[in-house]
């Protein structure tokens, strides 16, 4: 395939053009707006699929495209100030592009059903197109600066879409909350970019990799901290904000105020994944900065805490929101424990099944006109297709074998377990345990949600009768069914369980594992002499020099000159830990599912039993661990407002009264003295004298301001001549 | 042979002629003619330098765009002249002094 | 093609000279052969037998200018399009047909916008602008 | 040889036309002398091997700008248009007089001296290539490639510029629907008088 | 020198011998001068015959006999006309602008004759195959508009001025469809020089650009109608409409200066017809090049061009005596509301066609790329 501007740019530009066109159309012919958006993203999907197929055919970890064009060049002599923008496509990008465009296409199509007839529903598509183009731009970007720009555009779109129903006050507040909370992370992110720029001299990803490979970060410190740690932490703070990790997760549940398709697209499938994507891109930096433990802890805490909150939610979307936070916590945990590949795989699988879950929830809410689960029940007869799709995804997220969630989540947990077992350090025990406990809770709350929604008896007859029976509609449940097909595990692992039982595509069965390689020190050597290509017309690289990867049974990829025996040994250990983890998690899932059945289907154990026993815990959960209270009531109302009041009191009470008034008194006395001086000496001599001088001078100069253009020309020429005399003679 | 200096001299003559016409004529259309001369001298300079000092065609591109700009300038300028004539019934340049405070002539 | 001499422009100059020679020769022949008897009213401008009143050099309608204006804009745009048109085929053969087509079409779309604007505002309408100005008079 | 002849005849045409442009008091003649200047400059472009720029010069200037100028001259009263305020303006020469030419000549000479000085300095610094004056390679395809690659943004934006010029100039020059206020006043007075009769 | 007539003739031994003594530059100059003069004479004769043809054909169309007194079938009428023109008194109106009055016919004849420098009479009988050939031809022929305007202005007669203004605005307006249509051909051919355009149409008539795709087929008619207006031919002869404006911009011109105006007009019709033939109807191309590479072949090619051009010339005259004249507003609306949008549509369509079908013509698409 030939990578020119006409094959790459449409991926990003088609949705963007759809946005621009829609901005014009929305005033004149609003009924075309949704279809323009859909056409834009579907077209983009085909281009992305072409790129993915190309990368899949080449099947090589070393294969990447990096092309740049010059954006700003203010270099003068030795002072280099030059910014190149460009694209960087490697295997991860190719997978990501396919996932984003595919999920976004289906969500666009679903939105045409869900949003139809809503207030301002055309405007919704304008935002969606802009958002999609920004996401695709972020994925394609080759440098942190343009990533940051697209990141902020997405932040804006998120703000607009959460506050889409701005008549509701909560929606407005939620949008402001989301915007401000993510800003905290973004400030750190920008700081991290600047720190990297200070060291590397540019911010494009291959250069950063090259710098890490060449050891540019070694020995550099800022505020006594290693610079790599500082920069890595700052960038990880961006991830914390965007992906709703532990201290800053409070915005995501509130973000459910937006329309459900936008929740599916932005707050579950793509934008929150962008944070994890960024961390994966900057993984070497964090590795060099030794931030792994911190990241693992944050991920573990998030995964566990959000899962517990999800246990008691009554709102259908809130359960999904907390499960999103929890799953994102798993990804971050994966990054922390070095499960790079598994974290990215979980990103992809999670995007697909979570998008499907949200769309199904949207389908339920739109059909049932309610989103509180206590009001539901027995909907499987009314909404059969939605029920099927949602069950597939529930099984996937719960980690039931055969489904994709099992494959990806278990590999994260297995790697965590391996890290713990291998090092034997207690410091890794806590995230691992938190992860396994989360894995116990996840099936429980998901099954609880499904049972409350679709099974059992209905608890509100009016609404149940009002709900129409679902028919197979191309833009309602067909997208759901398409997405639910891809919750099966073997699309990603090549086998049903991820443990290598079925092999149906020969060497490519473990394609995900082979293609997505962690950019650890050894792999980065290929970037050490990186040269970026300009956007020329032809792709001039000699593709034949890139060797095809050799496939190893256990490890997947073995590059040239790689010690295979050590690797096999290493992977044997890994495999051992993985099998252990898989068995453990299957047992955990089974227990959890049994508990859910016992509580909500057979009624052996009443939920109120736990409510009574753990009342303190439940209270904490109902208040979301007091995080909102902490931020808004304590930190902002008690802390910041008090501080402001204090400062205000200081300003008006002390500074104004003593410093300023006292200064004024002194001044008054001085002025009395100077007034006399002014009247007698300055006025009569200097001012009047100047006035006379000015009058004489103005007689000369006002002839310039004559209003006659030709005199202006003469003066202009005179000025040029005078200036050139001054400069040149 | 013809040297760069020869072209620069011709261009200088064009420039000075345009300048003199701009200053001494009182008819707006005539002043626009002077502006065309000045633009031509600039474009000629660009092409001459492009041949004699650089090996690329950027000078040609530049003078191409100068011609484009000159055409747009002439179109808008003459439109303004015509409108001005419809209002004032003259195209004497000294009547275009609305921004000046009124001073006895 | 690549390196030629500037002599290829010689015919252009020669044709100019020949045009001048033709003109001058014709005028000279007429000067030598034709009679010249000035006098009477034969050097008055022709006005169907009436005595001409006043000079013909008077004010004209502004619609001529508007037509000229649209023309010059289109003229300049087409001048800019000619080099692109000249490499269109070459680019297409090199496989960048879509790229250059997009450039070309986006340029033309702006051209179309101009003509659509003038059409809608009635600048292309000779009679309409005529009736408007007669009202103004 | 041919190039020298072409250069000298073209620059003679340019300089002569320039001088006549300054000399003449007839606006129409001034426009026609401008035509001479433009054709001469096109000839100079030919001597520099800039075939496309030369043809563009002819096409845009001769075919467009000059005709537009001639139209504008006709629209603003032709050669001698008598207006109401003509009596006042007859005091002011519209094509310049000794006084204005003195000013113009003075400024021009100063500017020319300044520029000449700078050119002399410049030629100590600038590196002029030793080139074969007579060599020529066609420019149009290279220009096309430059326009769609390096100068793409300028190329696309120039169309927007021209659109803006078209719209702006058309708005300015278009005959107005409503009449100027003073004409209404005059006609109103006129009708008033008639009613009295 | 490769693409010029001098370069072609310098291949012959006799001219090489001359070049050895005189030098290449001077020899080239002489060849150029000789052929330029030859072409001018041929064109002037053809232009003269144009008047006769017009009168004879119009008589034929109206079932009259036409001029039949001077020479066989009145063929020497043009000589008689020429003698009359030269020997008539040359009157200049009293109040005319003398300088512009002389300049106007010069600009007309200048603009027309300069296009001859790039006219492809045959593969090698082309004075200079400039790289910007067709663009140069459009550019230099716009001088005719200035000439007509100045002619109308300088006479200081009301009829003339009206005709001159109309003529100038008509000529500049119709230049837009012409330019856009030529650009359409340039997009297909990939070059501006006339030889590039004509060489691509070699072979049988279905390789002519008129049959290249549907857009060029429409484009030919757009081009033809626009050139009729460019040359002030009926039904677009408003600048010289005899029933409205007496004789338009050359009302006040008499004698040889009127003759020069008329000559310029008739030569322009021929030149413009030849340009249409070169662009659309295969130019000088013969179906079978039997004598390839020899001088007689050049003459055969010249004959091919001449025949096609004369056929088109006949159509021009036929149109004149068939259609009534347009009103001014119709003239403008045809140009701006019909021809220009159609020309833009053609240009866009052709560009898309070239990209979509990889530059193949309709016949290549239907009968495979081997259909030559």
- Which residues, at least 6 apart from A450, have a Cβ–Cβ distance to it below 8 Å? A390, A391, A394
pLDDT of the residue at A555: 43
pLDDT of the residue at D177: 56
Task: Indicate the helix (H) or strand (E) that contains A67.
Answer: strand A65-73
| The overall pTM is greater than 0.90 | no
pLDDT of the residue at E234: 77
pLDDT of the residue at D89: 47
Selected residue of A698, A705, A709 to mutate for chain B interface (largest B Cβ count, 10 A): A709
Name the stretches of chain A with pLDDT < 70: 1, 77, 494-509, 521-522, 529-532, 535-572, 728-729
Mean of the pLDDT values across residues D72-76? 78
What range does the domain containing E251 cover?
96-366
DSSP string computed for A684-715? IIIIHHHHHHHHHHHHHHTTTSSS-HHHHHHH
pLDDT of the residue at A535: 67
pLDDT of the residue at A31: 85
Lowest mean pLDDT, pick from C131-135, D134-138, E151-155: C131-135
Reply yes or no on whether the pLDDT at B103 is more than 70.
no
Residue C1 binned pLDDT confidence (cut-offs 50, 70, 90): very low
Q: Is residue C42 part of a domain?
A: no
Selected residue of C2, C8, C97 to mutate for chain E interface (largest E Cβ count, 10 A): C8
What tokens does C98 get? 């879509």
Q: Return the SS3 of A272.
A: helix
What range does the domain containing C13 cover?
6-35+59-136
pLDDT of the residue at C130: 43
C-beta of residue C14 within 8 angstroms of C-beta of residue E36: yes
Reply yes or no on whether the pLDDT at D169 is more than 90.
no
Reply yes or no on whether the pLDDT at E207 is more than 90.
no
CB contact under 8 A, C95 and A2: yes
**d(C-alpha A344, C-alpha A449), whole Å:** 27
**d(C-alpha E299, C-alpha E154), whole Å:** 43
Selected residue of B21, B24, B40, B71 to mutate for chain D interface (largest D Cβ count, 10 A): B24
Q: What is the pLDDT of residues A80-103, one digit of tens each?
A: 778 888 888 888 899 999 999 999
Lowest mean pLDDT, pick from A287-291, D74-78, E36-40: D74-78
Quick check: A537 contacting C, CB < 8 Å? yes
Q: Is residue C111 part of a domain?
A: yes
Residue D135's φ and ψ, nearest 5 degrees, are -80, 155
pLDDT of the residue at A192: 92
Domains of chain B: 4-95 (1.10.287.3510)
Domains of chain D: 1-78 (1.20.120.1200), 139-197 (no CATH)
What is the percent of chain D with per-residue pLDDT over 70, rounded to a whole number? 76
pLDDT of the residue at D188: 55
pLDDT of the residue at D183: 52
Q: Return the SS3 of A551.
A: strand
CB contact under 8 A, C10 and D140: no
Q: Where are the domains of chain A?
A: 302-499+583-622, 626-728
Residue of C8, C105, C111 with shortest CB distance to E3: C8
Closest-CA residue to E95 (of D128, A401, C52, B63) = C52
Chains E and A touch (3+ CB pairs under 8 A): no
Residue A82's φ and ψ, nearest 5 degrees, are -145, 130
Reply yes or no on whether the pLDDT at C137 is more than 50.
no
Quick check: D36 contacting C, CB < 8 Å? no
Maximum average pLDDT range among A620-629, B49-58, E269-278, E361-370: E269-278
Residues of C in contact with E127 (CB under 8 A): 11, 14-15
Residue E13 binned pLDDT confidence (cut-offs 50, 70, 90): confident
Q: A384-398 and A404-423 helices cross at what angle (nearest 10)? A: 10
- How many separate domains does chain E show? 1
Mean of the pLDDT values across residues C66-76? 87
pLDDT of the residue at D77: 61
Burial E148-162 (b: 16+ CB within 10 A, else e): bbbbbbbbbbbbbbb
pLDDT of the residue at D133: 67
pLDDT of the residue at E241: 72
pLDDT of the residue at A569: 67
- Which residues, at least 6 apart from C44, have a Cβ–Cβ distance to it below 8 Å? C51, C52, E93, E94
C95/chain A closest Cα distance in angstroms: 9
Residue C131 binned pLDDT confidence (cut-offs 50, 70, 90): very low
Closest-CA residue to D133 (of D11, D53, D48) = D48
Residue C136 binned pLDDT confidence (cut-offs 50, 70, 90): very low
C-beta of residue E48 within 8 angstroms of C-beta of residue E81: yes
CB contact under 8 A, B75 and C62: no
Q: Is residue C46 part of a domain?
A: no
Lowest mean pLDDT, pick from A530-534, E88-92, E181-185: A530-534
Residue E299 binned pLDDT confidence (cut-offs 50, 70, 90): confident
Residues of C in contact with D6 (CB under 8 A): 9, 13
Residue of A714, A724, A725 with shortest CB distance to D107: A714
pLDDT of the residue at D181: 52
C-beta of residue E279 within 8 angstroms of C-beta of residue E185: yes
Q: Is residue E306 part of a domain?
A: yes
Lowest mean pLDDT, pick from A457-471, B7-21, D42-56: A457-471
Chains contacting chain B through 3 or more C-beta pairs under 8 A: A, C, D
Reply yes or no on whether the pLDDT at E5 is more than 60.
yes
Stretch 110-139 of chain D: residues touching chain E, C-beta under 8 Å: 138-139
Residue D176 binned pLDDT confidence (cut-offs 50, 70, 90): low
What is the percent of chain A with per-residue pLDDT over 90, rounded to a whole number? 24
Residues of A in contact with B100 (CB under 8 A): 705-708
Q: Is residue C21 part of a domain?
A: yes
Q: What CATH number did the domain enclosing C92 receive?
A: 1.20.58
Reply yes or no on whether the pLDDT at D184 is more than 60.
no
Stretch 64-83 of chain B: residues touching chain C, C-beta under 8 Å: 64, 67-68, 71-72, 74-75, 78-79, 82
Q: How many helices (H) and strands (E) does chain A have?
A: 30, 7
Mean of the pLDDT values across residues D22-33? 84
Lowest mean pLDDT, pick from A632-636, B38-42, D84-88, E347-351: D84-88
pLDDT of the residue at A564: 54
pLDDT of the residue at A561: 47
CB count within 10 Å of CB E125 equals 21
Q: Chain A to chain B, count of Cβ pairs less than 8 Å apart?
A: 26
pLDDT of the residue at D91: 47
Average pLDDT for chain E = 84
Q: Is residue C31 part of a domain?
A: yes
C-beta of residue E211 within 8 angstroms of C-beta of residue E221: no
Q: How far apart are the first and last CA of chain B?
A: 55
Q: How many helices (H) and strands (E) does chain B have?
A: 3, 0
Q: A271-281 and A121-140 helices cross at what angle (nearest 10)? A: 10
pLDDT of the residue at A537: 52
């Amino acid at each position: 395939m030939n990578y020119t501007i006409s094959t790459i740019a449409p991926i990003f530009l088609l949705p963007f053009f759809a946005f621009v066109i829609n901005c014009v159309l929305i005033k004149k012919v609003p009924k075309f707006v949704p279809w323009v958006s859909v056409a834009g993203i579907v077209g983009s999907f085909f281009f992305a699929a072409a790129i993915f197929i190309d990368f899949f055919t080449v099947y090589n970890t070393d294969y990447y495209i990096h092309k740049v064009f010059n954006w700003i060049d203010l270099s003068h002599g030795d002072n280099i100030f030059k910014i190149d923008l460009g694209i960087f496509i490697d295997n991860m990008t190719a997978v990501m592009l396919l996932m984003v465009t595919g999920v976004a296409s289906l969500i666009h199509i679903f939105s045409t059903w869900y949003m139809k007839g809503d207030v301002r529903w055309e405007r919704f598509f304008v935002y969606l197109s802009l958002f999609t183009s920004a996401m695709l731009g972020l994925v394609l970007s080759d440098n942190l600066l343009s990533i940051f720009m697209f990141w902020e555009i997405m932040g804006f779109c998120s703000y607009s879409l959460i506050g889409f129903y701005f008549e509701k006050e909560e929606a407005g507040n939620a949008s402001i909350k989301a915007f401000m909370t993510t800003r905290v992370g973004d400030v750190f992110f920008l700081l991290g970019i600047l720190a990297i720029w200070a060291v590397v001299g540019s911010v494009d990803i291959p250069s950063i990799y090259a710098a890490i490979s060449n050891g540019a970060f070694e020995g550099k410190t800022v505020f006594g901290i290693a610079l790599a740690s500082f920069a890595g932490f700052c960038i990880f703070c961006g991830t914390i904000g965007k992906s709703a990790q532990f201290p800053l997760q409070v915005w995501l549940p509130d973000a459910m105020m937006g329309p459900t398709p936008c929740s599916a697209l932005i707050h579950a499938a793509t934008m929150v994944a962008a944070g994890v994507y960024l961390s994966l891109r900057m993984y070497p930096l964090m590795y060099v900065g030794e931030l792994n433990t911190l990241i693992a802890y944050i991920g573990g805490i998030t995964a566990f805490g959000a899962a517990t909150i999800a246990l008691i939610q009554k709102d259908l979307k809130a359960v999904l929101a907390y499960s999103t936070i929890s799953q994102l916590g798993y990804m971050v945990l994966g990054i922390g424990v070095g499960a790079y590949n598994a974290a990215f795989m979980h990103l992809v699988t999670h995007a697909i099944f979570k998008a499907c879950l949200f769309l199904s929830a949207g389908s339920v809410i739109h059909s049932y006109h309610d989103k509180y689960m206590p009001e539901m029940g027995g909907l499987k007869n009314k909404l059969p297709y939605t029920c099927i799709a949602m069950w597939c995804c529930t099984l996937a997220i719960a980690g039931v074998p055969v489904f994709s969630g099992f494959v990806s989540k278990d590999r994260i947990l297995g790697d965590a377990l391996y890290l713990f077992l291998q090092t034997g350090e207690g410091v890794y025990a806590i995230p691992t345990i938190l992860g396994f406990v989360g894995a116990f809770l996840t099936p429980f709350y998901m099954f609880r949600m499904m049972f409350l929604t679709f099974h059992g008896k209905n608890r509100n007859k009016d609404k149940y009768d009002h709900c129409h029976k679902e028919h197979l509609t191309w833009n309602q449940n067909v997208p759901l069914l398409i997405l639910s097909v891809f919750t099966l595990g073997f699309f990603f692992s090549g086998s049903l369980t991820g443990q290598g039982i079925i092999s149906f595509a020969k060497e490519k069965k473990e394609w995900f594992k082979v293609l997505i390689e962690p950019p650890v020190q050894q792999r980065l050597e290929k970037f050490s002499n990186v040269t970026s290509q300009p956007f020329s017309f032809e792709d001039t690289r000699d593709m034949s020099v890139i060797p095809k990867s050799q496939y190893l049974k256990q490890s997947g990829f073995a590059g040239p000159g790689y010690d295979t025996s050590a690797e096999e040994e290493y992977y044997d250990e890994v495999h051992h830990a993985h099998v252990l983890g898989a068995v453990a998690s299957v047992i955990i899932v089974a227990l959890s599912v049994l508990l859910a059945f016992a509580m909500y289907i057979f009624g052996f154990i009443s939920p109120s039993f736990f409510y009574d026993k753990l009342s303190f815990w439940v209270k904490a959960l109902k208040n979301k661990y007091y995080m909102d209270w902490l931020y808004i009531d304590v930190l902002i109302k008690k802390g910041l407002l008090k501080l402001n009041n204090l400062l205000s009191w200081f300003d008006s009470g002390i500074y104004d009264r003593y410093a300023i008034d006292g200064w004024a008194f002194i001044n008054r006395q001085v002025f009395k003295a100077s007034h006399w001086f002014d009247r007698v000496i300055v006025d009569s001599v200097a001012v009047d004298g100047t006035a006379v001088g000015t009058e004489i001078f103005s007689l000369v100069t006002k002839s310039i301001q004559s209003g006659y253009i030709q005199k202006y020309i003469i003066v202009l020429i005179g000025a040029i001549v005078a200036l050139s005399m001054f400069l040149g003679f | 042979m013809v040297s760069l200096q020869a072209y620069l001299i011709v261009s200088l003559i064009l420039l000075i002629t345009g300048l003199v016409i701009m200053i001494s004529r009182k008819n707006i259309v005539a002043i626009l003619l002077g502006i065309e001369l000045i633009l031509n001298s600039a474009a000629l300079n660009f092409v001459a330098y492009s041949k004699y000092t650089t090996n690329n065609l950027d000078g040609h591109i530049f003078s191409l765009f100068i011609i484009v700009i000159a055409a747009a300038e002439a179109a808008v300028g003459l439109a303004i002249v015509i409108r001005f004539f419809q209002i004032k019934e003259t195209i004497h340049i000294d009547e275009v002094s609305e921004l000046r405070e009124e001073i006895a002539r | 093609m690549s390196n030629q001499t500037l002599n290829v422009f010689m015919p252009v100059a020669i044709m100019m000279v020949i045009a001048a020679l033709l003109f001058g020769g014709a005028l000279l022949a007429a000067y030598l052969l034709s009679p010249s008897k000035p006098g009477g009213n034969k050097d008055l401008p022709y006005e169907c037998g009436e005595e001409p009143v006043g000079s013909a050099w008077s004010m004209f309608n502004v619609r001529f200018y508007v037509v000229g204006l649209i023309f010059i804009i289109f003229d300049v745009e087409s001048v800019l399009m000619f080099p692109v048109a000249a490499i269109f085929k070459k680019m297409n053969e090199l496989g960048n047909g879509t790229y250059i087509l997009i450039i070309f079409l986006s340029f033309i779309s702006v051209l179309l916008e101009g003509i659509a604007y003038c059409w809608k505002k009635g600048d292309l309408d000779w009679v309409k602008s005529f009736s408007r100005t007669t009202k103004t008079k | 040889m041919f190039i020298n002849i072409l250069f000298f005849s073209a620059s003679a045409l340019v300089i002569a036309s320039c001088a006549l442009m300054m000399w003449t008091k007839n606006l129409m003649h001034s426009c026609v002398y401008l035509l001479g200047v433009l054709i001469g400059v096109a000839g100079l472009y030919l001597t520099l091997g800039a075939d496309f720029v030369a043809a563009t010069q002819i096409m845009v200037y001769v075919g467009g700008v000059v005709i537009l100028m001639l139209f504008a001259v006709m629209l603003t009263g032709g050669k001698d248009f008598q207006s109401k305020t003509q009596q006042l303006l007859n005091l002011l020469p519209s094509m310049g007089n000794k006084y204005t030419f003195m000013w113009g000549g003075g400024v021009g000479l100063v500017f020319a001296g300044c520029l000449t000085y700078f050119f002399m300095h410049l030629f100590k610094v600038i590196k002029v290539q030793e080139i074969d004056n007579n060599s020529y390679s066609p420019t149009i395809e290279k220009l096309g490639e430059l326009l769609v690659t390096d100068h793409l943004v300028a190329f696309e934006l120039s169309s927007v510029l021209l659109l803006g010029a078209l719209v702006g100039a058309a708005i300015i020059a278009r005959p107005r629907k409503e009449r100027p206020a003073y004409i209404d006043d005059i006609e109103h007075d006129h009708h008033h008088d008639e009613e009295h009769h | 020198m490769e693409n010029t007539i001098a370069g072609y003739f310098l291949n012959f031994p006799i001219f090489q011998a001359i070049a050895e003594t005189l030098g290449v530059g001077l020899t080239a100059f002489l060849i150029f001068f000789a052929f330029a003069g030859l072409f001018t004479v041929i064109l002037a004769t053809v232009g003269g015959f144009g008047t006769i043809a017009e009168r004879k054909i119009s008589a034929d169309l109206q079932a009259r006999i036409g001029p039949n007194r001077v020479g066989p079938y009145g063929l020497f009428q043009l000589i008689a006309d020429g003698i009359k023109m030269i020997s008539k008194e040359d009157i200049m109106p009293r109040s005319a602008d003398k300088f512009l009055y002389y300049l106007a016919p010069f600009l007309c004849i200048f603009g027309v004759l300069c296009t001859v420098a790039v006219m492809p009479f045959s593969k090698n009988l082309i004075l200079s195959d400039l790289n910007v050939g067709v663009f140069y031809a459009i550019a230099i022929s716009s001088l005719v508009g200035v000439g007509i305007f100045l002619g109308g202005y300088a006479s200081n007669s009301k009829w003339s001025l009206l005709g001159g203004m109309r003529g100038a605005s008509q000529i500049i307006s119709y230049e837009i469809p012409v330019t856009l249509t030529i650009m359409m051909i340039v997009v297909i051919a990939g070059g501006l020089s006339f030889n590039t355009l004509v060489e691509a149409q070699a072979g049988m008539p279905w390789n002519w650009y008129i049959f290249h795709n549907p857009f060029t087929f429409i484009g030919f008619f757009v081009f033809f109608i626009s050139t009729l207006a460019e040359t002030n031919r009926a039904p677009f002869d408003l600048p010289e409409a005899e029933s409205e404006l007496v004789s338009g911009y050359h009302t006040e011109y008499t004698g040889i200066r009127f003759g020069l105006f008329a000559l310029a007009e008739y030569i322009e019709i021929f030149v413009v017809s030849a340009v249409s033939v070169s662009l659309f109807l295969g130019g000088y191309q013969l179906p079978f090049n039997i004598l390839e590479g020899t001088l007689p072949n050049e003459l055969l090619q010249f004959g091919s061009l001449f025949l096609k051009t004369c056929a088109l010339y006949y159509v021009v005259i036929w149109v004149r005596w068939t259609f009534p004249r347009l009103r001014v507003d119709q003239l403008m609306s045809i140009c701006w509301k019909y021809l220009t949008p159609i020309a833009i549509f053609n240009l866009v369509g052709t560009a898309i066609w070239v990209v979509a079908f990889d530059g193949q013509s309709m016949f290549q698409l239907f009968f495979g790329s081997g259909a030559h």
